[in-house]
């Protein structure tokens, strides 16, 4: 995280939780309802993702382009403030959605049956489309 060392952002339905370390781990929890701006742009070390919530600015640099764009879309889904510049290719979107579905399955270890895994993948894709994370031209099938 810019100015805060290594960091990770966790996005929930209601919050953006930023964990960062400069010496010891610190946590910031910001409500998504206080979102002011979202930006995702190509930088020298990869994609840079910037947000402003409740007057506080946070930035991540060196992000994967696909995940940064999907995070920007997710953050701005209910607050249309992000520029909609980047179109993602089908393979990048499919890989990201597979990763998200895999994380959901790992977070819910009892949901390991293959049929359930397929259903969860389909639900994740449908939800991503409904939330505006996937454009109509991406993963059309």
Q: Which residue has the higher pLDDT, 9 or 138?
A: 9
Query: Nearest-CA neighbor of 62 among 19, 133, 8, 22?
Result: 8
Residue with tokens 């959605």: 97
Query: Nearest-CA neighbor of 71 among 63, 125, 120?
Result: 63
Dump pLDDT digits (tens) for 12-61.
Answer: 878 888 888 777 888 888 888 888 888 888 877 778 888 888 888 888 88
- Can you tell me the distance from the alpha carbon of 38 to that of 59, in angstroms, rounded to the nearest whole number? 10
Burial 50-78 (b: 16+ CB within 10 A, else e): bbbbeeeebbbbebeebbbbbbbbbbbee
Per DSSP, which regions of the chain are E strands? 6-11, 15-22, 24-31, 35-43, 46-53, 56-63
Instruction: Provide the mean pLDDT of the chain.
Output: 77
Q: Are 39 and 68 in contact (CB under 8 A)?
A: no
Q: Which residue has the higher pLDDT, 88 or 117?
A: 88
Count how many Cα atoms sit within 13 Å of the Cα of residue 73 in the half-sphere of its side chain. 21
The pLDDT of residue 112 is: 56
């Amino acid at each position: 995280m810019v100015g805060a060392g290594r960091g990770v952002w966790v996005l929930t339905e209601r919050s953006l939780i930023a964990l960062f370390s400069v010496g010891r781990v610190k946590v910031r929890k910001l409500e998504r309802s206080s979102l002011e701006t979202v930006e995702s742009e190509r930088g020298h070390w990869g994609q840079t993702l910037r947000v402003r919530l409740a007057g506080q600015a946070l930035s991540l640099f060196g992000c994967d382009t696909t995940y940064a764009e999907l995070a920007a879309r997710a953050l701005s889904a209910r607050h249309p403030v992000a520029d909609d510049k980047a179109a993602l290719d089908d393979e990048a979107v499919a890989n990201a959605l597979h990763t998200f579905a895999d994380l959901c399955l790992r977070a819910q270890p009892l949901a390991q049956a293959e049929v359930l895994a397929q259903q969860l993948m389909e639900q994740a894709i449908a939800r991503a489309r409904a939330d505006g994370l996937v454009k109509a031209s991406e993963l059309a099938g």
